[in-house]
Amino acid sequence: MPPRSLRVNGVARDVASHLDTPLLWFLRDHLALPGTKFGCGAGVCGACTVHVDGEAVRACIVDLRELLGRSVVTIEGLSPDGSHPVQQAWLAEDVAQCGYCQPAQIMAAAALLRRKPKPSDADIDEVMSDIVCRCGTYQRVRRAIHRAAQGSRS
């Protein structure tokens, strides 16, 4: 991969002319990947959570310069067809209300489960408290994470 690029959902993207742009706006305005949402612009609400090399990262406070040579996955790239166990668990628990924060909740949950396939409630609290849901779907988010964890065990 050339040094002035990064991968987004598996595709190499030349970002030489956008090095100071936060990942969030590059995804939304330049790559037309609007599933990653703007909530605060300051890294305090978590609505823009994506994966960078598998870890949950807030796209609004990381510039492309810091991501050269790395691999970004957004909600659009989590699975080709919504079949990721976390997405399936989300549907089974009918988690979403307005839905705006849900891509971020799902990305954060998927990263958590990769690190901890059987997270405790305390593990969930620690990671998921970073992501605001103003509609208040937290109880279902927790249930869906446990459900996805069970699915991956069997």
Partner 1 sequence: MSVTRRTFLITSAAAGAGLLLRVEAQAGKGVLAPNAFLGIGADGTVTVWVTRSEMGQGVRTSLPMLVAEELDAEWSRVVIRQAELDARFGQQRTGGSLSVRELWEPLRRAGATARAMLVTAAAMRWEVPAARLSTENGVVSDPLTGRRAAYGDLVAVAATLPVPDDVELKAADRYRIIGTSKRRLDGPDIVTGRARFGIDVRVPGMLHATFVRSPVPGGKVRRLNAGKAKGIAGVRHIVPVDGTGLSWLLQWSRGVAVVADSTWAALRGRDALEIEWDEGVNAALEQETIEDDLLRLAAEPGLVVRRDGEAPVADEAGAVTADYMVPYLAHAPLEPMNCVVAVSDDRCRVWAPVQLPEGARAIAARAAGIEPERVDVEVTLLGGGFGRRLYADYVGEAALISKAVGAPVQLLWTREDDMRHGFYRPISHHRMAARIHEQKVVCWSHRITGPSRRTVAGRDAKQPEESESYAAIEMPYDIAAVNVEFNHLYVPIPCGPWRSVAYSQTGFVIESFIDELAHAAGADPVAFRLAHLMRKPFLDYDGEKEIDPARLRRVLTIAAQRAGKAPRRPLGRGFAVTFDHGAAVAHAADVSAAGDRIRVHRFVTAIDCGTVVNPDHVRAQVEGGIVFGLSAALKGEITIRRGRVEQGNYNDYDVLRMDEMPRVEVHIIPSREAPGGVGEPPVPGVAPAVANAIFAATGKRLRRLPFRYRHR
Query: Which chain residues interact with partner 1 by CB under 8 A?
Result: 21-22, 25-26, 28-30, 32-42, 44-45, 47, 74-76, 78-79, 81-82, 87, 90-91, 94, 96-103, 106, 124-126, 128-142
Closer by beta carbon to partner 1, 63 or else 114: 63
- Between 5 and 87, whose beta carbon lies closer to partner 1? 87
Toward partner 1, which CB reaches closer, 68 or 135? Answer: 135
Backbone torsion region of residue 116, taken as left when φ is above 0, otherwise alpha when ψ lies between -120 and 50, otherwise beta? beta
Question: CA quadruple 133, 34, 113, 64: dihedral positive or negative?
Answer: negative
DSSP 3-state of 146: helix
CB of 1 vs partner 1, minimal distance in Å: 24
Q: Which of 118, 104, 115, 108 is nearest to 146 (CA)?
A: 118
